[in-house]
Chain A
Amino acid sequence: MAVKKLSFEQSLSRLDEIVRHLEKGDLPLSESLALYEEGTGLIKQCSNMLDEAEQKVVKLKKGPDREPIEFPFEDET
């Protein structure tokens, strides 16, 4: 349903907006249903992002031109 991919932060604030709008209850049924659908879509999308997230840890080192190069971070203790 969500056409463009929003960031997590944008999704949450859009969700907040949708729920407040729905709670006002002054929209025609068709619009309410469309918002409801968008809202449940966003909730699902955010939950999926959290479920699928896997922490990535890298160590940065300067490359030959000072540019950052990522290395995997190994336990050094």
Chain B
Amino acid sequence: MDRQSISVTELNNIIKGLLEQEPILSNVCVRGELSNYKIYPSGHHYFTLKDSESSLRCVMFKSSASKLRFRPENGMGVTVYGRVAVYPRDGAYQLYCSAIMPEGTGDLQVAFEQLKAQLASEGLFESSHKKALPQFPNRIAIITSSAGAAVHDMIRILGHRWPMAQVVLLPVRVQGVEAPPEIVGAIRYANEFNVADLIITGRGGGSIEDLWAFNDERVARAIYESRLPVISAVGHEPDVTIADYVADRRASTPSNAAEIAVPDQRDIRDALDSYSIRADQAIRKKLLSLSERLESYKNKRVITDPSAHIDNRRIELDHARDRLTAAEERNLSRCRQSFVALTAALDAMSPLRVLSRGYAIAEKEDGSTVKSVDMLSAGDSLRLQLWDGSAQCRVSSVSKRPEK
């Protein structure tokens, strides 16, 4: 009853003091699942770490959060490092995080997958954006460390395959925090001053940390923005970096990049030889076909014996003339035959032929032919025409045959 009361602030401060003097709580390492993850405009990260039964409020200040090499996501299993402390205003304790490590995978791998997913979604890996490599580059910019085996391998192979291409080395550091900005700077510089018509950037093999510069977002974007085509050449065959996805061409190793960048002069010499053979064959064939044609003309009789040709034409002319004469003959005899037939027909119809059989034609004085007794009267004078002469007669009577 008489107990002395204390303020809320006083109580919270007592709790805070108790918690904060406990050494275990000043450096804990807690396993759980991320939920409610929020990044505030201030740059501080707030989230809840939970398991199946409990949850724990967590905060990660900007200074620590900026060192994260992956983007934390809800549902992600993680291990969180930090200290537990009380936030007196809310009377709540929370975990102040210094680092978060994804469970199971290394955080570099997680960062890699996340950047890859993000850049893919932005279209940086689109094949439509990839530029064609020059077939015969004149100048090749190599952006890598000037020390180390990689640069020497590339120079040696380029010289061996295609010595006509000049090699322009832009030395950069390829590991450590300075590497990404140096690589980015070199890519941009090569473009700005047009120092080459092809870029190879990469380095020899190493651990995932050694190759990390080529998984840097800034490097990826510089490659994407490069006007000059870029071949990425990082590490060994199984190493695939973000740079490989963005580059116009991925080489499995620096040596492989040199092989991709230029043709092999042996192949080109072979091609030149084959052109030479084909041209020879074609021109030989042309000459052969022309001389064959000449030969065939030579053997024609019109060339070897021109008079025979004229004789032949003359014989053909004679034959034609014969055929013409024969045709004329046939034509004439056909005409003659039809003339005889026509004359006979005409003759058969002649009135003189009728008179010769005993008929006579009676004509009146006006010359009209008497065709009926109606035309006659007794006393009329008639002329009888017979086949061999005529007679004058007089009509004594007219009698008409009664009609039936």
Interface, chain A (partner B; CB < 8 A): 7-9, 12, 15-16, 18-19, 22-23, 25, 27, 29, 32-33, 36, 39-40, 43, 46-47, 49-50, 53-60, 62, 66-68, 70, 73, 75-77
Name the one of A18, A53, A59 contacting B279, with C-beta atoms under 8 angstroms. A18
Q: Kindly state whether residue B377 has any CB partner on chain A within 8 Å.
A: no
Q: A22-B283, A68-B193 are contacts. A50–B166 as well, Cβ < 8 Å? A: no
Q: Is the CB of A39 within 8 A of B279?
A: yes
Q: Is the CB of A50 within 8 A of B171?
A: no
Instruction: Classify chain B: how many residues form its interface, as a range.
Output: 35 or more
14 examples of A-B residue contacts, CB within 8 angstroms: A9-B136, A19-B279, A22-B279, A36-B283, A43-B272, A47-B269, A53-B163, A55-B166, A55-B167, A57-B155, A57-B166, A66-B189, A68-B189, A70-B168
Name the one of A16, A60, A67 contacting B275, with C-beta atoms under 8 angstroms. A16
Q: A23-B278, A59-B171, A76-B146 are contacts. A49–B283 as well, Cβ < 8 Å? A: no
Interface secondary structure of B, over-half rule: helix
Q: Is the CB of B286 within 8 A of A15?
A: no
Name the one of A9, A19, A53, A60 contacting B282, with C-beta atoms under 8 angstroms. A19
Q: Kindly state whether residue B395 has any CB partner on chain A within 8 Å.
A: no
Q: Specify which chain B residues have a CB less than 8 angstroms from the CB of A47 in the assembled complex.
A: 269, 272
In the bound assembly, the distance between CA atoms of A11 and B306 in angstroms comes to 51
Q: Kindly state whether residue B265 has any CB partner on chain A within 8 Å.
A: yes
In the bound assembly, the distance between CA atoms of A53 and B162 in angstroms comes to 8
In the bound assembly, the distance between CA atoms of A34 and B268 in angstroms comes to 24
A62 to chain B, nearest CB (A): 7
Tell me the B241-275 residues at the A interface (CB within 8 Å): 265, 268-269, 271-272, 275
Q: Kindly state whether residue B181 has any CB partner on chain A within 8 Å.
A: no
Q: Specify which chain A residues have a CB less than 8 angstroms from the CB of B155 in the assembled complex.
A: 55, 57, 73
Q: Is the CB of B164 within 8 A of A53?
A: yes
Q: Is the CB of A67 within 8 A of B279?
A: no
Q: Kindly state whether residue B169 has any CB partner on chain A within 8 Å.
A: yes
In the bound assembly, the distance between CA atoms of A23 and B168 in angstroms comes to 41
Nearest neighbor of A58 in chain B, beta-carbon distance? B168
In the bound assembly, the distance between CA atoms of A67 and B170 in angstroms comes to 13
Q: Is the CB of A49 within 8 A of B164?
A: yes
